[in-house]
Structure 1
Amino acid sequence: MPSEHVDVLSEVLKLIRLRGDHVFHGELGHATEVAFSPGPATFLHLRTGQLSVSQRNGQPVLVRAGDFVLLPRGDGLTIQSESGKSTPQRFELLAEAKPNGKVQTFKWGAGSVAGSFLAGSFHFDGAPLRSLLTGLPGLIHLTCDKVSDPPWLASITHFLDVESRSGGPGSLLMISRLIDLLVVRTLRMWVSRQGDRVGWLSGLSDERVGRALTAMHLDPGRAWTVSTLAETAMMSRSTFSNRFSAVVGLSPLRYLTRWRLTLAADLLRSGTVKVTEVVHDAGYGSEAAFSRAFKQEFGYSPSETHRMTQTDIFVARSSE
């Protein structure tokens, strides 16, 4: 994947402000199932054995030793070992993390170990960018056998393991940074492996659509038109418009509007700028027009942004 496309991913993740929370080690006995309630986003790196992992109430994915699973939406997950019984032993757990700088090790089920793993949680802090995260599936599975095992995965999880066990000064910060790195590298690898999925992340793997996405992200204030974006993508206007919509799931100008509003929301959340200062850069000629579009996109007005907490924003989006 061209490096400039990776920069677009970096720009978005900078606004999202990924924050790693904690890690833990887990072991499942045979005929055992562990269900985690909805909470933060999670990841799991299987060290030994073979387990099934699924989103809460979703279809299970068979995960083998070396594989990595990322669940970015925080919907909850279920982990199950190969069952020799019709009804496995089941555990229900809260997903709330209580990081203390020391590793936590859990063993579920009796008997020999069917699978062991390193897992952890993280948050995406940029609530206004939730709409951009719709390009992510609920579960990302990287198959990592001896042939395709990426060196970075082994290195990062090794240092994460070491840091989680040490519990020394600065351990919480190191764990958070390593989780950040692990998630970003996973997203980048997932983007590079995309096929015919729909979403802006998938668009990055399409050479021509990716050029237009890069241009919009790097220069959002420019007076872009479908024609100028088509020229950037080196395509005819109609072909580009159709291709962009098919790959990204939004028309070019609708996507541009969403990105501009997202940038405006991030500035307003800081509380250091006024609404009138972001209207023009967001592509609107009046504060009234900007406010209408902003509320339609996020569910709350621009003037409310810097006073709202993450929970308030979630409720506003959910009540639409």
Structure 2
Amino acid sequence: MTVSSGKAQDFGMSAARIDVLSEVLTLIRLRGELVYTAFLGEPWGLEFQPGAAHFHFVRKGSAWVVPTDGKPTRVSEGDLVLLPLGRGHVLTDVLGSPAEKIEVVAAKYFDREKLVLSHGGDSNVTQTISGFFTFEGSPLPAVMSALPPIIHIPCGDAGSPRWLEAISNFLVSEAQQPDPGSSLMISRLIDLLVIRTLRSWAATEVNRMGWLGGLGEESIGRVLNAMHADPFRRWTVGAFAKIAGMSRSIFAERFTKAVGKSPLRYLAQWRLTLAVDLLRSSNLKVTEVAYRCGYASDAAFSRAFKANFGYAPSEAKKRQAAL
């Protein structure tokens, strides 16, 4: 077997990561809701309720971020923290301090006109650019299961990444000096911020989960790339193993360890994820979607769909319209 050079391997890995990540992010369909500047003086503590996902970029000072189901993370000037699951979190100056429950747009210390939130005392003020966003439709299990409760992009020795400084400054400018189209611009900028954060995290995180975990291995990444490029092909474990350059048994073991599911189980769930999108965004009938996804009958497709999402395929469009 010919061994590629390190540079070629890096290029192949990057291409696979970008292709799969692009496919996944296309289905997430982010919708940026609001951006605001927060001035938080000691002592202070805010408890954000479950619902929308949130981000905080620290322009000055420091804070603790405590996800409802994750470990506390210390953030300092230049750091960005993303909470993609929307399960609620606490933002505070000191761990264990009392935190006031808050819904930003209804908070008594939130200036809706200036989009500024002021809270706490007057000393040691921490300033953040924060915002929240939602997903168009219910979060996709195959996508969201790969994300942790909190993603931390720390400020490096050279300062915050240029893309982060640029996007955050643009966000504040659009929010504080609204012109025609500013609402749409803010929404798109939040989309860009979130997607760029996920890409940076996926490229550097060692302990990835789910489909992101598979991208950490070049051979498994090639398989994921092929799978996402042609998801409705009649794939076999043998065909995947050939792409990975392994025997069937070794490939199946390596894939399951990296991704957390067997190859065919992952493929089946990804097809169902695509099926949701097809049912919501097209005029295809359930029978047509079932056939496209490789199911021999509507009944088999409906059983698998309901087991995965908790509702019947015929309800997908209605649920989308109700959001």
Q: With the length of structure 1 as denominator, give the TM-score of the two structures.
A: 0.90
Quick one: which amino acid aligns to residue 64 of structure 1?
Answer: S
Aligned residue number for residue 238 of structure 2:
227
1:46 and 2:58 are equivalent in the alignment: yes
Alpha-carbon distance, 1:274 to partner: 0.2
CA contact (8 A) 2:69 2:149 kept: no
Quick one: which amino acid aligns to residue 74 of structure 2?
Answer: L
Aligned residue number for residue 101 of structure 2:
92
Counterpart Cα distance in 1 of 2:74 and 2:196:
22
* Structure 1 runs not aligned, ≥5 long: 313-320
Which segment drifts farther, 104-113 or 42-51?
Answer: 104-113
Counterpart Cα distance in 2 of 1:128 and 1:281:
23
CA contact (8 A) 1:50 1:81 kept: yes
1:19 and 2:28 are equivalent in the alignment: no
Counterpart Cα distance in 2 of 1:109 and 1:232:
57
Aligned residue number for residue 71 of structure 1:
83
What are the within-5 Å matches in structure 2 for residues 233-272 of structure 1? 233-270=244-281, 272=283
* Structure 2 runs not aligned, ≥5 long: 1-12
What are the within-5 Å matches in structure 2 for residues 106-125 of structure 1? 106-125=117-136
CA deviations 1:254-312 (Å, max 9, x no partner) are: 00001111111111113511011112221111111111111111111111211124878
- Equivalences, count: 309
Counterpart Cα distance in 2 of 1:132 and 1:40:
17
CA contact (8 A) 2:63 2:94 kept: yes
Aligned residue number for residue 115 of structure 2:
104
Q: 1:40 to 1:97 in 2, by over 3 A?
A: farther
CA contact (8 A) 1:67 1:141 kept: yes
Quick one: which amino acid aligns to residue 206 of structure 1?
Answer: E
CA RMSD of aligned residues (A): 2.3
Q: With the length of structure 2 as denominator, give the TM-score of the two structures.
A: 0.89
Counterpart Cα distance in 1 of 2:159 and 2:250:
36
1:188 counterpart SS class: helix
CA contact (8 A) 1:230 1:236 kept: yes
Alpha-carbon distance, 1:4 to partner: 3.4
CA contact (8 A) 2:137 2:320 kept: no
Structure 1: 4+ residue segments shifted above 3 A = 87-90, 95-98, 100-103, 309-312
What are the within-5 Å matches in structure 2 for residues 1-320 of structure 1? 2-56=14-68, 58-82=70-94, 88=97, 90-94=99-103, 103-127=114-138, 129-147=140-158, 149-270=160-281, 272-309=283-320
Aligned residue number for residue 316 of structure 1:
none
Task: Report sequence identity in percent.
Answer: 47
